[in-house]
Amino acid sequence: MQPFHKAVEHEFTAVNTLIVNQLQSDVGLVENIGQYIVEAGGKRLRLVVVLLSALANGYKGKEHLKMAAVIEFIHTATLLHDDVVDVSSLRRGRQTANAQWGNAPSVLVGDFLYSRAFQMLVEIAHMPIMGVMANATNVISEGEVQQMANAGNPEITEDIYRQVIYRKTAKLFEAAAQVGACLAGTDQNAMILYGKHLGMAFQIADDVLDYQGDIDITGKNIGSDLSEGKMTLPLIFARDNAPIKDAMLIRRAIADKTAGDFGAILEIVKNHGGLSYSLKQAIKEVELAKRSLESMPASEYKNVLLELADFSISRVS
């Protein structure tokens, strides 16, 4: 258990219990797939952000527990859909749901999790929060479509890359941080910025891991971004700074959606600064996340939010 889990240990346990209870369904396959994904673990950073944000902003009620479960359900639904779109076979160190049950059940159970999340939002009955989550899920969907449309395009720029990772990853972190302040009735701007930059740092670090990670750490196949035709930041920088011959090798691999030359491309990315540049960008995002909390009153939970920002890139730094 990480320090940020320990800071909200009681709440974290309560949310996990709530998640299990909310997965109950008369349709057995829904429960089986839902529990399979949830029990796969992961650090559950997004739900932790909800809890820490609410507590750091002085919230005294109980709805942050339900809100954390909502965020986790939405995140899990996106994972189910992502794995189908990306034809992924491994996540968190074991078979994806689509590899085990097929694409159709995975998509439909993802839909169930989305709808269950919005049922819980109705129970919370907080219209501004419903607005935040409706907007967030719409933006996330746009990001997923944009990423799919960009697959196999070797000319993606850093600006477009940042647009995509904001929409598909950082937006949910942003919403998780924002709803904590929303529940507490405090200023939301600091938490919005914190969540945005935390999510950006996390995704850039995750993209670095695809070129320097270990399957035991990442829980997914190394080089999967290359085989899916995704131009992530390490590749973009290497493409723009490598000799023409090396840049063309990157372009062909992306266009053909193949990791057959992964070893050679990995050397190009390393030798021409793709990894070091990306890590520097992730560190900048961490510093922006931490700076956004400067006006927040001192507290144990604020300290943990600062530590969480550093943790988001600890796997690669």
Express as a percent the part of the chain with pLDDT over 70.
Answer: 92
Close Cβ partners of 314 (under 8 Å, ≥ 6 residues apart)? none
Band of pLDDT at residue 81, cut at 50, 70 and 90? confident
Q: In Å, what is the CA distance from 182 to each residue of 55, 130, 189? A: 11, 11, 10
Q: What is the pLDDT of residues 201-247, one digit of tens each?
A: 999 999 999 888 554 554 456 678 898 899 999 999 999 999 999 99
pTM of the model: 0.92
Residues pairing with 94 in the sheet:
91
Q: Reply yes or no on whether the pLDDT at 40 is more than 80.
A: no
Locate all alpha helices (DSSP H) within the chain, ordered by sequence. 3-6, 9-22, 28-38, 45-56, 63-85, 97-101, 103-124, 127-150, 158-165, 171-184, 189-212, 215-218, 224-227, 233-241, 244-256, 262-271, 274-291, 300-311
Q: How far apart are CA 108 and CA 77, in angstroms?
A: 9
Mean pLDDT of 47-51: 97
Instruction: Tell which CATH architecture fits domain 3-311.
Output: Orthogonal Bundle (1.10)
Band of pLDDT at residue 105, cut at 50, 70 and 90? confident
